Amino acid sequence: MSSCQGCGHELVEIGLTIDGSRIVMRSCSTCDTRSWHRDGDPVHLDGVLTDLSAVPTRYRRSLSS
Ligand SMILES: [Zn+2]
């Protein structure tokens, strides 16, 4: 498990499959920092994130229950 670069809090990892690629979102519940990794490599999904903005929200909601 990784730690947040901003606050050191433990990160939550959420795996998604997007366009056949394995995407992992690491999210900090303390400061809401997110990072994305595709097949183990960091990725910047600036444009994609706009389209996917509903996905992490839905997963985060389910995780917090
Ligand atoms: Zn944090």
Could you read off the pLDDT of 17-64 as tens digits, one per residue? Answer: 877 888 888 999 999 888 888 877 888 766 455 555 555 555 555 665
Asked if pLDDT for residue 11 goes beyond 90, the answer is yes
Cα 34 to middle of ligand 1, angstroms: 9
> According to the model, what pLDDT value does residue 43 have?
81
Alpha-carbon span 5 to 20, nearest angstrom: 28
Cα 5 to middle of ligand 1, angstroms: 7
Whole-prediction pTM: 0.57
> According to the model, what pLDDT value does residue 65 have?
52
- Put the strands of the sheet holding 34-38 in their side by side order: 12-18, 21-27, 34-38, 41-43
Q: Check residue 44 and report its DSSP letter.
A: -
Domain boundaries, given as residue ranges, for the chain: 12-64
Cα 25 to middle of ligand 1, angstroms: 14
